Amino acid sequence: MRLFTLALAALLSLLMAGCAALPGRDPLRVELVGIEPIEGQGLELRLAVKLRVQNPNDAPVEYDGTALELEVNGKTLATGVSDQRGSVPRYGETVLVVPVSISAMNAVRQALVFTDGTPREAVPYVLRGKLAGGAFGAVRFTKEGSIALTALTRPPR
């Protein structure tokens, strides 16, 4: 029994040393590159969110599913998932399209924020998501930014 305990301790030590020797991975870079309307049902609004995902690492990032949450003005506006699978190549990029839903309640809550009389030039957003699967489990990402309201009201060229 003592031999078994020593062997188990040695094995755990080797595993921990092996994990410590793995090089650190830089986080993925994610940019919101487009939002397009898609068909919804009932009182929901559906959008196709396009994300450019860049991998600044020397190994590809495999994924088998995507989850996404879009927060605007500190409140959840839209959520979505996709069972799409693929890979972000090493030192490469790919564009993912994730369908998201906006419930009627979330839309009303956001509309109330804009009708409070406070002048706004930009609206802050936080995009959180994960690419599921791969050798090391899910790869999570967060992108924060703001949307200039003047760009939304400008007529198209």
Identify whether the C-beta of residue 44 lies closer than 8 Å to the C-beta of residue 103. Answer: yes
Task: Tell me what the mean pLDDT of segment 120-127 comes to.
Answer: 85
Residues in the chain: 157
CA 101 → CA 29, 42, 77, distances in Å? 24, 11, 8
List, in order, residues 6 or more apart from 110 with CB less than 8 Å away. Answer: 72, 73, 75, 77
What pLDDT, on a 0 to 100 scale, did the predictor assign at position 156? Answer: 53
Residue 19 lies in a domain: no
- Taking alpha carbons only, the member of 39, 32, 49, 44 closest to residue 101 is 44
Identify whether the C-beta of residue 122 lies closer than 8 Å to the C-beta of residue 145. Answer: no
Summarize pLDDT for 54-113 with one digit per residue, the tens: 999 999 999 999 999 999 888 898 999 999 999 999 999 999 999 999 988 887 877 776
Identify whether the C-beta of residue 83 lies closer than 8 Å to the C-beta of residue 65. Answer: yes
Residue 80 lies in a domain: yes
What is the domain-level CATH number for residue 147?
2.60.40.10
Please tell me the total count of domains within the chain. Answer: 1
Residue 97 lies in a domain: yes
Q: Which contacts of 37-40 are long-range, i.e. CB under 8 A and separated by 24 or more positions?
A: 38/99, 40/101
Which of the pair, 3 or 88, is modelled with greater confidence? 88
Written in H, E and C, the secondary structure of 56-106 is: CCCCCEEEEEEEEEEEECCEEEEEEEEEEEEEECCCEEEEEEEEEEECHHH
Residue 119 lies in a domain: yes
What pLDDT, on a 0 to 100 scale, did the predictor assign at position 56? Answer: 95
Identify whether the C-beta of residue 66 lies closer than 8 Å to the C-beta of residue 98. Answer: yes
Give the range of the structural domain holding residue 63, as residue numbers without chain letter. Answer: 25-153
Residue 143 lies in a domain: yes
